Structures are given as structure tokens and as C-alpha cells.
């Protein structure tokens, strides 16, 4: 049974949804699943844009056969060679042995690395920046997008219908429930957090490269965005492009405070909760609290990309940083988190050292500063320390308001 939808009169979504996979890239939890999008253009010539993950083989080929309805497949456009999109290239060639593969030089290098395929040169088209391919009424233009988020990535712009097939750019975690267009759903409620989590963890390191792609896209008349994950955008494109612009410049989405704490026996947690209560009482509405030990680091990174101010609270451990907090800071650095204001709460029964070590790691983050003073406690934050915690709260609040 085919599961396809028309993007336009002659362009079809032929992807698959995966609600069984627990971990994307065997790292990131995807409780809402994920979609692997592929698109098929029917014209004088037919062209498939990307394949899907290996586990989606059967429904994917059912979709293709249904749309082609006996026609041959002329071209496969390979925008991205990550296995969740390229896994079925060899299977596709077996099914359509005359298909011509279109990609850039790095694409074909990776095809040779992944597969034992011996294609004649007549079935390869190596494209460069702004090269084009005519299908009849549809004309495809190719633009290189290296490191968004692999080095071979390119995007494809269809001129007649003004569609950008954007590879992993503008992608989102979450399976599609029949509604493949963003305007068919409440995107802010149902998918924005997953879009940010996808961007921050998958593409977040490569903000400069995303900015380069956005500049190329700004020169095109784009009426529709067709990414390889998540919904298709045919309305309000500026909204989502604006999110990518903001995230790739590492600018916070909202002025507010996210408190991320690690606590061994509940004392550091109690201090973090007390701070949250005080901030909320003083009118800070954009506010969130997370236990670093029980929240997946991908969610914490997403929230770090969202908020302007980050409070880190942790105990000293082996004379250094509590391990889960150290792991979070390593991820922040790896993903180039920038332009944030941090406030620190440390705990230590005999020799508090956590705050000093966290501050040292924050100094490695671009344009990130630590609000003074740090709140330091020994064992527990007692009621007698309420004045110091209030001063700490006031410093955080003043920075947010500023």
C-alpha cells in the first residue's frame, strides 16, 4: 500500500516515517519518531531526490513504484550521503539499472566508500555550484552546502515551482502523521522544540556554514522548503528561516533563565528550586528547570540555544565538576554555544571547587560571561544564607532585564 502525498501537481513526497527507532544516530532520543523525506518529480524525465534509511526500504519502493506507474526512473539526485538518506542507493540501482546518479565530486567519493557499485561514467553526472539539469518543464539548479552538516551536502532548487530541496537544513525530529505540511499542524506547539533540538544537536556546530547557505538562499525566489526530515514549508517561510538565522548566529530565542542542576543527595537541587521560586516571584516568566542527571543532554543543549541566561548548579566531585555537568559543558563547547550569560551555584562539603572549574570551561565559549557573584554553599543552602541567595537572584534578574 502506497503512502504518498502531492507536493505540487507533479512533485510527490515519497518518504517514510519511523516510529520504532529509539535513538537517532544511536545517540538522540526520538520519542515522536522521525521522518525520512524523499521527493519524486514527474516530467518528461523523472527525478528522485534522495532515498531513505535502510529500515524504510519496503514502503519507500512501494511509494516510488506507485508514483512512476510503470515509467522508468531517469535520475537520482543525491543531496546528502548520510546513511539515513543514502542507504537505498544500491537497492535503487538494482531496481532501476538505467538510472543516472547526480551528485558532486564528494558525493561520488562517499558512494564508493559506502557501496560496491560499479556505475559506468555515462550514468554519472558530477555537478558543481550553479550547474543545472532540465527535466522538461522543471529545471534543477544545484548549490553546494558543505558542512550543513557533512562536507558533500548540496541543495537543489527547482526553478519553475520555486522549491528548495534543502537536505538536512530546515529539518525537524518527529514523524509526520499524514500532515506533511507545516501549515497543517500547530508547529509551535507540536514541533518547534523538536526543530530546535534537531538543529542544535545535529547542525549546531556549523553556524557559519548555515549562514553561508542562508545567503545563497536569500538570492533565490523560494516558495517552498522541502527538507529531508520534518514538515514541508509552503507558508510563512520567513518564520522558520528566521529561526535558522537566529540559531546559526547563536543568538538566544528568548530572554529568560534556564536552570540546569546536578544533585547527589538533593541539597543542590533544593537550592536550584529555591532560586527558581524567587525568580518566578519577581516576574521572570521565561523560566525552566532541569535535572542534568535525568534529562538527555540533547534537550539541555536545545534549551541552552533557546534561553539567554543559563544557571548551572552542581556539587564538587573528585575535586572537580560533577560528571554529568562536565559532559554538558563539553557538548556546549563542541556545538559552539555562544553569546550567553551564565550564573553558577556550587556545592562542596569540605572543598568546593566545582564553580571554579565550570567557570574555566565557560571561558572557552565564545562571548559567554559569568555573572558575579557565584553562589557557593557547603553541604546545603540553609535559611541563614537566604540573603546571599537573594543577592544572587538579583544579579541574575538584573542581567535578564538588561
Q: Judge if 5-248 and 258-396 fold alike in CATH terms.
A: no
- Per-residue model confidence (pLDDT) at position 351: 84
Look at 23-37, 230-244, 267-281, 375-389 and tell me which has the smallest mean pLDDT: 375-389
Report residue 145 CA to chain centroid gap: 16
pLDDT (tens digit per residue) in 11-68: 999 999 999 999 999 999 999 999 999 999 999 999 999 999 999 999 999 999 999 9
- Per-residue model confidence (pLDDT) at position 20: 96
- Pairwise CA distance, residues 50 & 15, whole Å: 9
Whose cell is 533557546? That residue is 306
Architecture of domain 258-396: 3-Layer(aba) Sandwich (3.40)
- Per-residue model confidence (pLDDT) at position 402: 87
Whose cell is 534537550? That residue is 299
- Per-residue model confidence (pLDDT) at position 369: 96
Q: Which residues pair with 309 in a beta bridge?
A: 257, 341
- Pairwise CA distance, residues 344 & 371, whole Å: 8
Look at 154-158, 297-301, 383-387 and tell me which has the smallest mean pLDDT: 383-387
Cβ pair 182, 233 in contact under 8 A: yes
- Per-residue model confidence (pLDDT) at position 380: 86
Q: Which residues pair with 163 in a beta bridge?
A: 158, 224
DSSP string, 122-189: GGEEE--TT-EEE-SS-EEEEEE-TTSSSTT-EEEEETTTTEEE-TTTT--SB---S--BGGGS-HHH
- Per-residue model confidence (pLDDT) at position 333: 97
- Pairwise CA distance, residues 248 & 86, whole Å: 26
- In total, the chain counts a number of residues equal to 402
Cβ pair 49, 243 in contact under 8 A: no
108-132: b (≥16 Cβ within 10 Å) or e = bebbeeeeeeebeeeeebebeeebe
Under DSSP, the state recorded for 232 is B
Query: To the nearest 10°, the Cα dihedral for 334, 335, 336, 342?
Result: -90
Answer whether residue 139 shows pLDDT above 90. Answer: yes
55-66: b (≥16 Cβ within 10 Å) or e = ebbebbbbbbee
- Per-residue model confidence (pLDDT) at position 211: 98
Residue 193: count other Cβ atoms within 10 Å of its Cβ: 18
- Pairwise CA distance, residues 118 & 121, whole Å: 9
- Per-residue model confidence (pLDDT) at position 30: 98
- The domain locations on the chain are 5-248, 258-396
The β-bridge relationship of strands 375-377 and 341-347 is parallel
- Pairwise CA distance, residues 73 & 271, whole Å: 63
Answer whether residue 202 shows pLDDT above 90. Answer: yes
Answer whether residue 2 shows pLDDT above 90. Answer: no
165-189: b (≥16 Cβ within 10 Å) or e = bbbbbbbbbbbbeeebbbeebebee
Return the half-sphere exposure (C-beta side, CA atoms, 13 A cut-off) of residue 20: 4
Report residue 249 CA to chain centroid gap: 14
Question: 393, 396, 331, 339: which is closest to 361 by C-alpha?
Answer: 331
Mean pLDDT value of segment 371-391: 91
Give the CATH number of domain 5-248; options: 3.40.50.12280, 3.40.50.2300, 3.60.15.10, 3.40.50.10490. Answer: 3.60.15.10
- What's the whole-model pTM score? 0.95
Name 88's Cβ contacts closer than 8 Å, sequence gap at least 6.
Answer: 51, 52, 54, 56, 57, 60, 61
pLDDT (tens digit per residue) in 247-303: 999 999 999 999 999 999 999 999 999 999 999 999 999 999 999 999 999 999 999
Amino acid at each position: 500500500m502506497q503512502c504518498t502525498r502531492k507536493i505540487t501537481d507533479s512533485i510527490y513526497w515519497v518518504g517514510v516515517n519511523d516510529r520504532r527507532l529509539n535513538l537517532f544516530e544511536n545517540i538522540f532520543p526520538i520519542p515522536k519518531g522521525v521522518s525520512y523525506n524523499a521527493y519524486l518529480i514527474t516530467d518528461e524525465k523523472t527525478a528522485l531526490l534522495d532515498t531513505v534509511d535502510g529500515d524504510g526500504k519496503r514502503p519507500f519502493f512501494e511509494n516510488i513504484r506507485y508514483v512512476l506507474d510503470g515509467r522508468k526512473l531517469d535520475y537520482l539526485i543525491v543531496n546528502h550521503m548520510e546513511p539515513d538518506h543514502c542507504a537505498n542507493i544500491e537497492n535503487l540501482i538494482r531496481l532501476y539499472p538505467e538510472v543516472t546518479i547526480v551528485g558532486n565530486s564528494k558525493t561520488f567519493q562517499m558512494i564508493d566508500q559506502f557501496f560496491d557499485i560499479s556505475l559506468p561514467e555515462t550514468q554519472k553526472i558530477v555537478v558543481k555550484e550553479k550547474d543545472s539539469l532540465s527535466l522538461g518543464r522543471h529545471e534543477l539548479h544545484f548549490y553546494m552546502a558543505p558542512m550543513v552538516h557533512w562536507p558533500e551536502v548540496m541543495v537543489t532548487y527547482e526553478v519553475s515551482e520555486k522549491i528548495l530541496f534543502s537536505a538536512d537544513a530546515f529539518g525537524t525530529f518527529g514523524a509526520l502523521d499524514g500532515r506533511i505540511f507545516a501549515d497543517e499542524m500547530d508547529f509551535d506547539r507540536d514541533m518547534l522544540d523538536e526543530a530546535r533540538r534537531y538543529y542544535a544537536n545535529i547542525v549546531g556546530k556549523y553556524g557559519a556554514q548555515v549562514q553561508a547557505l542562508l545567503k545563497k538562499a536569500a538570492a533565490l525566489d523560494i516558495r517552498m522548503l522541502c527538507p529531508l526530515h520534518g514538515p514541508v514549508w509552503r507558508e510563512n517561510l520567513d518564520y522558520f528561516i528566521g529561526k535558522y538565522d537566529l540559531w546559526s548566529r547563536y543568538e538566544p530565542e528568548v530572554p529568560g533563565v534556564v536552570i540546569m542542576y546536578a544533585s547527589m543527595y538533593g541539597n543542590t537541587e533544593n537550592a536550584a528550586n529555591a532560586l527558581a521560586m524567587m525568580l518566578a516571584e519577581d516576574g521572570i516568566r521565561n523560566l525552566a528547570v532541569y535535572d542534568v542527571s535525568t534529562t538527555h543532554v540533547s534537550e539541555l543543549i536545545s534549551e541552552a540555544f533557546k534561553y539567554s541566561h543559563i544557571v548551572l548548579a552542581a556539587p564538587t566531585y573528585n575535586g572537580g565538576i560533577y560528571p554529568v555537568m562536565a559532559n554538558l559543558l563539553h557538548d556546549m563547547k563542541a556545538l559552539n554555544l555562544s553569546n550567553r550569560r551564565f550564573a553558577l551555584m556550587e556545592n562542596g562539603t569540605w572543598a568546593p571547587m566545582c564553580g571554579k572549574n565550570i567557570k574555566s570551561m565557560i571561558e572557552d565559549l565564545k562571548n559567554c560571561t559569568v555573572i558575579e557573584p557565584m553562589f557557593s554553599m557547603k553541604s546545603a543552602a540553609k535559611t541563614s544564607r537566604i540573603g546571599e541567595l537573594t543577592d544572587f537572584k538579583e544579579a541574575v534578574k538584573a542581567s535578564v532585564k538588561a
